[in-house]
């Protein structure tokens, strides 16, 4: 025996994972299904761990293979109260002290030349552009106790960010900097990957079991799963890692949403 997986094992892993987007669509989880289908049809690629924490890349430099800007839309996300709550919380801190320090560095780095007034961002800028030029603050959202819905299935834990745009000003005499903010832009950044240990629920082809059904399932020798439709079974991150290893498909990627804009009239002293 050479230790290679049998054809039956490869097929079982493939069938299990590829059945999940259909179960998501059956529940109305359209965005979750689209993100997973993109992952399933992408070439084998593992997201570097540092991209999730200390050293994310400049998103403008990412290839389309490793970046998605089209699936997650703010109009969809804002229909969920968890995102609306995160936006309300971010409004409070988006121009606080730490945010002004970030904005001061961004404004100071503009190509001032002989100018004393400079445009600072534009409403036409995509999130990947704002991330590097005008982003000021952020708010994480999502957790293990969230309602099991399309937002949870698509993003889990993600980050809502705020960018402030308008006109940067430099005092002719003192050279002190200020920013006249005209709009705030809100967008979501996330990574779509299956790194580390994570339990992703008990699935049938009809959908995922609720938390109450999972307790019943555990106490009744799988009765709830059998009653809910053709079983897929318990799903963990390592099932997706096995799929990638055995099939050569499964590409992680970075997610950016589009931008939701709000009008502001705010003067910030950046000194």
Question: Is 270 in the same domain as 158?
Answer: yes
Stated pTM of the model: 0.93
pLDDT tens profile 71-102: 999 999 999 999 999 999 999 999 999 999 99
Q: Which helix (H) or strand (E) holds 261?
A: strand 260-269
Range of the domain at 237: 1-41+199-251
Q: Which of 181, 146, 150 is nearest to 165 (CA)?
A: 181
Residue 225 domain-assigned? yes
**Predicted local confidence at residue 221, as pLDDT:** 56
What pLDDT, on a 0 to 100 scale, did the predictor assign at position 9? Answer: 82
- Examine the domain organization and report whether 97 and 141 are in the same domain: yes
Domain contains 51: no
**Residues 140, 257 within the same domain:** yes
**Residue 120 and residue 110 in contact, taking contact as beta carbons nearer than 8 Å:** yes
Q: 156: which residues sit within 8 A by CB, 6+ positions away?
A: 142, 190
Any domain includes 55: no
Same domain, yes or no: 161 and 240: no
| 247 and 269 share one domain | no
- Look at residue 69 and tell me if it is in a domain: yes
What is the number of structural domains in the chain? 2
Those residues of the chain that have pLDDT short of 70 are 1-4, 214-229
Q: For the segment 101-139, what is each residue's pLDDT rounded down to a tens digit?
A: 999 999 999 999 889 999 999 999 999 999 999 999 999
- The answer on 164 and 81 residing in a single domain is yes
The predicted pLDDT at position 6 comes to 77
The reported pLDDT for the residue numbered 217 is 58
For residues 110 and 74, state if they share a domain. yes
């Amino acid at each position: 025996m050479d230790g290679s997986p049998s054809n039956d094992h490869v097929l079982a892993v493939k069938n299990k994972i590829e059945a999940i987007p259909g179960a998501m669509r059956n529940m109305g989880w359209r965005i979750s299904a689209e993100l997973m289908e993109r992952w399933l049809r992408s070439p084998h690629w593992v997201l570097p761990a540092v991209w999730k924490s200390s050293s994310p890349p400049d998103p403008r430099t990412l290839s389309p293979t490793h970046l998605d800007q089209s699936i997650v839309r703010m109009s969809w996300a804002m229909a969920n109260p968890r995102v609306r709550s995160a936006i309300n919380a971010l409004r409070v801190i988006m121009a606080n002290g730490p945010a002004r320090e970030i904005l001061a560095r961004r404004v100071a780095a503009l190509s001032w030349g002989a100018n004393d007034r400079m445009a600072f961002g534009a409403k036409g800028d995509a999130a990947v552009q704002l991330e590097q030029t005008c982003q000021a603050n952020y708010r994480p959202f999502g957790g293990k106790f969230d309602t099991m819905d399309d937002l949870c299935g698509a993003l889990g834990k993600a980050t809502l960010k705020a960018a402030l745009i308008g006109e940067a000003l430099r005092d002719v005499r003192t050279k002190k900097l200020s920013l006249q903010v005209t709009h705030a832009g809100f967008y979501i950044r996330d990574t779509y990957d299956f790194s580390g240990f994570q339990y992703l629920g008990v699935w049938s082809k009809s959908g995922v079991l609720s938390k109450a059904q999972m307790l019943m399932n555990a106490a009744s020798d799988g009765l709830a799963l059998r009653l809910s439709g053709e079983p897929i079974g318990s799903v963990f991150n390592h099932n997706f890692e096995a799929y990638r290893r055995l099939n050569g498909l499964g590409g992680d990627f970075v997610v950016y949403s589009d931008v939701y804009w709000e009008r502001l009239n705010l003067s910030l002293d950046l000194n």
